[in-house]
Amino acid sequence: MNNGLCVGAPGGFECFCVPGFTGSLCQIDIDECVSDPCLNAGICVNQIADYSCACPAGFRGKRCDIDLCNLNQCLNGATCNRVNNSAGYNCSCLPDFTGQRCETNIDDCISNPCFNFGICKDRVASYSCDCQRGYSGSRCEIDHCSPSPCIYGQCIRDLPGSHECLCIAGYTGTNCDTNIDECASDPCLNGGACLDGINSYQCKCKNGYGGTNCEIDLCSLNICQNGATCIGKPNGTECVCKNGYSGDRCEIDVDDCNPSPCLNNAQCVDGVDNYTCKCSAGYGGKNCSIDFCSRNKCDNNGTCIPLPNGSSCSCKPGYTGLQCEKIIDQCQSSPCHNATCINKLTDFECKCRSGFTGKTCNIDVCKPEPCMNNGKCVHTLNGFSCICIPGYYGENCQHNYDDCQSSPCSNGKCIDGVDSYTCDCNAGYTGHNCDIDNCTALPCQNNGTCVRLPFGSKSCTCLSDYTGALCEIQIDNCQSDPCLNNATCVDGINDFQCQCPGGFLGKNCDIDLCKTSKCQNNATCVGVPGAYRCACQPGFVGGLCQVEVDECSSNPCSNGGQCKDLVMISSARVLLGLQEKLVMSLLMHASLSLAIIMVHV
């Protein structure tokens, strides 16, 4: 029953049950709940070869062995409750937490509870405020500068949870309520009395003193000028002036020039209780009352010139002296050079010697040198003349004679000089007149071609196989040892010839015939002039040693012996009973062969 398997057995059958059944006929359903496998009050439900557990709230697993509340599902100290829902549990959260597992902390700062720009920091079921400087309180609601505690100063919020007073000048104290006594340091000097103020003080000085601290002796400042006497007074000084001065400080010089006592447009200069007259030109005296031109007379129509403190005479041309009484000698200074001086009233005249000219005869007609090209200047009655050196002519020797006019250069260009010429010769020519042909004077040898070069030089263009300045040297074409393999080099005209040893060929004897020989059967290649030969091993003949000698062709084996050809000798298969001596005798008939082949390349 129940899908059991029936198997025949002696005297009957036997049933093999599927899992979950038992009994001789598999008719009994095994109860898997008998062992009470379900835990934690789970209800067991029997099944075919299995069971299932109906678990109470809060438990899971095959046997209801998993307690969901023991898996730390609830966080942050929440209480786990076993319930019949899809999760199998729920969490009872502590205050300030939410979420299915109480995993979310409620943000207590979301309502911005902090005042005055305080920074809110969330905590568990609470918050704290980090206050700005100058504010305090759980919500930073206390402003330490409102109202201001500072009496004579400004409240500064620069301390955490407190304040500081920045006092105005003259006050101090925590709340700037104390006036500083500036007189406490006794600042007034020289017996001055100190009067305290707000951030200030005032000194009431004794007679003759001044300054902020009565530190100035007013009479020591030289307030009184021009030698006056200083006398101290309340709040100042008094100056007693010397004669000639006035003013509070005796700074005013009494003007003794008002009215001016000076005459004839003179300038009055005030002094101290005095004056001085600066007279116009030609006048003098204390008050400039003396006219000097009315006292001094000039001769020979000279003109009187007023001067400071006097006068002088301006003479007509040709006259001199204090009163123009003397005639001037114009020749006294010897103005004439190379000439005779003639005196005149207002001038002089110079009679020049020959070769000189100018107002004072100071010009030498030969200086600077008028003659060119090393010509010599000679004085004449009316001037000068030039004596020219050879090669030049003209009034000033300025012209050069053309020495090339006669065309003296045969094979070149004439260059004019001074009383001479030079020839710039064409290529290949020399001599003073370029009349020497270097190609004729020293010809090229061995049919070389002469090439004329600049500066009188030449060059020989040699035929091939010749060299040297005149092509006089024949080139040795064997000098570079062109022949190889011990060949003999024979020099030729622009060429060479190699006499090769036996077994070598080619222009340079570089072809080794034995390297490409066709000798066979281990024959030795032997070089011969222009060819090679093959020296055969014993037993071979032919030009290339290619033919093996048949030693059996002469039927050397007797008495019915069978001959077998070998290399060099024959072997005899002798009949039974022949002696070894007879066999050796037959072997001696073998022949040797040497073949020579001549190969021409």
Same domain? 145 vs 237 = yes
Residue 414 has pLDDT above 90, yes or no: yes
Residue 344 tokens read as: 């005149």
pLDDT at 578: 33
Confidence label for 384 from pLDDT (cuts 50, 70 and 90): confident
**Predicted confidence (pLDDT) per residue in 312-337, tens digit:** 899 988 888 888 888 888 888 888 98
**Residue 341 covered by a domain:** no
Containing 425, the helix (H) or strand (E) segment is strand 421-425
27: domain CATH number? 2.10.25.10
Same domain? 233 vs 120 = yes
Q: Which residues contact 306 (CB under 8 A, 6 or more apart)?
A: 280, 281, 282, 283, 292, 293
**Residue 171 covered by a domain:** yes
Q: How far apart are the first and last CA of the chain?
A: 115
Distance CA 391, CA 596 (A): 99
Q: Are 276 and 260 in contact (CB under 8 A)?
A: no
**Residue 175 covered by a domain:** yes
Same domain? 41 vs 13 = yes
For residues 12-24, average pLDDT: 88
pLDDT at 456: 67
Same domain? 154 vs 46 = no
Q: Are 279 and 266 in contact (CB under 8 A)?
A: yes
Same domain? 15 vs 122 = no
**Predicted confidence (pLDDT) per residue in 167-224, tens digit:** 988 898 888 988 898 898 899 998 889 998 888 999 998 888 888 898 888 888 778 8
Residue 583 has pLDDT above 80, yes or no: no
HEC profile of 342-399: EECCCCEEEEECCCEECCCCCEECCCCCCCCCCCEEEEECCEEEEECCCCEECCCCCE
**Predicted confidence (pLDDT) per residue in 76-135, tens digit:** 888 888 888 777 888 989 888 888 888 888 888 888 889 888 889 888 878 899 888 888
Same domain? 145 vs 33 = no
Q: Which of 199, 230, 252 is the last residue of a domain?
A: 252
pLDDT at 517: 86
| Residue whose C-alpha is closest to residue 310's, from 325, 300, 322, 296 | 296
Q: How many residues does the chain have?
A: 601
pLDDT at 58: 85
pLDDT at 595: 27
Q: What angle do CA 330, 331, 333 make, to 5 degrees?
A: 95
**Predicted confidence (pLDDT) per residue in 254-302, tens digit:** 888 888 889 888 899 988 878 899 998 888 888 888 888 887 788 888 8
Same domain? 73 vs 162 = no
* Beta strand ranges found along 427-523 (DSSP E): 429-430, 436-437, 449-453, 457-461, 466-467, 473-474, 488-491, 496-499, 504-505, 511-512
Question: With b meaning 16 or more CB within 10 Å and e meaning fewer, what string describes 129-156?
Answer: bebbebbbeebbeebbbeeeebebbebe
Same domain? 34 vs 140 = no
Determine the distance from the C-alpha atom of residue 92 to the mean position of all C-alpha atoms in its chain, rounded to a whole number.
Answer: 77
Same domain? 181 vs 216 = yes
pLDDT at 568: 53
**Residue 188 covered by a domain:** yes
The half-sphere exposure of 402 on its side-chain side, counting CA atoms within 13 A, is 5
Q: Which of 105, 127, 142 is the last residue of a domain?
A: 105
**Residue 60 covered by a domain:** yes
Q: Higher confidence at residue 220 or residue 45?
A: 45
**Residue 391 covered by a domain:** no
**Residue 216 covered by a domain:** yes
Q: Provide the residue range defining the domain that includes 15.
A: 5-105
Residue 572 has pLDDT above 70, yes or no: no
Same domain? 86 vs 117 = no
**Surface-to-core class of residue 497, CB atoms within 10 Å of its CB (0-12 exposed, 13-18 middle, 19+ buried):** middle
**Residue 376 covered by a domain:** no
Q: Which residues contact 387 (CB under 8 A, 6 or more apart)?
A: 371, 375, 376, 378
Confidence label for 599 from pLDDT (cuts 50, 70 and 90): very low
Q: Which of 188, 222, 252 is the last residue of a domain?
A: 252
Same domain? 87 vs 204 = no
**Predicted confidence (pLDDT) per residue in 397-410, tens digit:** 989 888 898 899 98
Q: Count the domains in the chain.
A: 4
Same domain? 67 vs 199 = no
